[in-house]
Amino acid sequence: MRDFPSCFGENAVQIADSSSSSSSKAAQNLVTCVYKSILRGKSCLISITWSKNMMGQGFSVGIDDSTNQCLCKVDIKPWLFSKRKGSKSLEADASKMYIYWDLSSAKFGSGPEPLEGFYLTIVFDKEIILLLGDLTKEAYKKSNVSPVSSDAIFIAKREHIFGKRFYGTKARFCENGKIHDITIECDAVGLADPCLMIRVDTKTVMQVKRLKWKFRGNQSIMVDGHSVEVYWDVHNWLFGTALGNAVFMFHTCLTAEKLWTSNTSSDSSAVLCLSKSQTFRDSQLQGLGFSLILYAWKNE
């Protein structure tokens, strides 16, 4: 989570960009999902990064403890997916951890994240700490553990999306909530006064006019009765290179700002900054909400 959004302001937002304007298309075919789980009675963060390239589908697993120390990390390269299923054992916290997966019948959308027909499970001390996918029976049988659901909570997702004027994705903002269609619309080509619009299930929930003056900012919207704070940074779209990307974050949290620390920014605007990611991690570990981070790229 080192390259998740790192700087926020009360009336403006500066979001750390993990991808420069010279980044390749390969870097955009990534989706990272972060889960809060329990490891030997202590909180930990499990990051699953799904990737896609000409070789096929792949993923990586990273597990950090509550002090931001990496306990283990493993990459399952796409070229190992000849059978698209397997297992991996590794050391974590002086014990064996096992990862089992089966994507042989998985169905995918336009991105690298599987939608159905798969499982990915992580077992530690003969207990499942994370189980993804709909093939739960197969996962329990393969891992040879009792069919007890894990306590993992989905807390953050980072994804790359691209388009020319419209940028879309799907997201669920609360546990067991409805999956919503999110559409970001911005047409800045040749316009003296470009406008930014965000829709949830075709309903316009946010509109930013005078975008050249408000290229960074934040605003609250309501989704499923929950307050969702929306942060945006479209500077690269308006003033950067053709390959630059905009960054958006949707955060279901009412009190996270109280946890953010104030630092001096190198930028002349001196916005309030969140330390590299530790305070953001701490707020997530305390169960303050779900964050969706979107890198929006313009198609060439």
> Could you state, in order of their start, the residue ranges of all structural domains in the chain?
7-25+161-298, 31-154
pLDDT band (50, 70, 90) for residue 242: low
Query: pLDDT at position 273, please?
Result: 29
Range scoring the smallest mean pLDDT among 15-19, 49-53, 65-69, 207-211 = 15-19
Rounded distance between C-alpha atoms, residue 230 and residue 25, angstroms: 26
Residue 2 predicted with pLDDT over 70: no
Encode pLDDT of 205-239 as tens digits: 999 998 989 999 999 999 888 889 999 999 988 88
Given the DSSP bridges, would you call strands 216-223 and 226-233 parallel, antiparallel or unpaired? antiparallel
Sheet with strand 127-133: strands edge to edge: 85-92, 95-102, 119-124, 127-133
Encode pLDDT of 68-92 as tens digits: 788 889 898 877 666 688 999 888 7
In percent, how much of the chain has pLDDT > 90? 37
Residue 57 predicted with pLDDT over 70: yes
Give which of 203, 171, 164 is closest to 185, Cα–Cα.
164
Burial string for 68-105 (b: 16+ CB within 10 Å, else e) reads eeebbeeebebeebeebbeeeeeebbeeebbbbbbbee
Count other C-beta atoms under 10 Å from residue 292's C-beta: 21
Q: Quick check: helix, strand or coil at residue 116? A: strand
Mean pLDDT, range 95-99, rounded to an integer: 89
Name the one residue in this structure whose structure tokens are 């019948």.
105
Rounded distance between C-alpha atoms, residue 228 and residue 236, angstroms: 24
Tokens describing residue 298: 């313009």
Task: Judge if pTM exceeds 0.85.
Answer: no
Residue 289 predicted with pLDDT over 90: no
Residue 263 predicted with pLDDT over 60: no
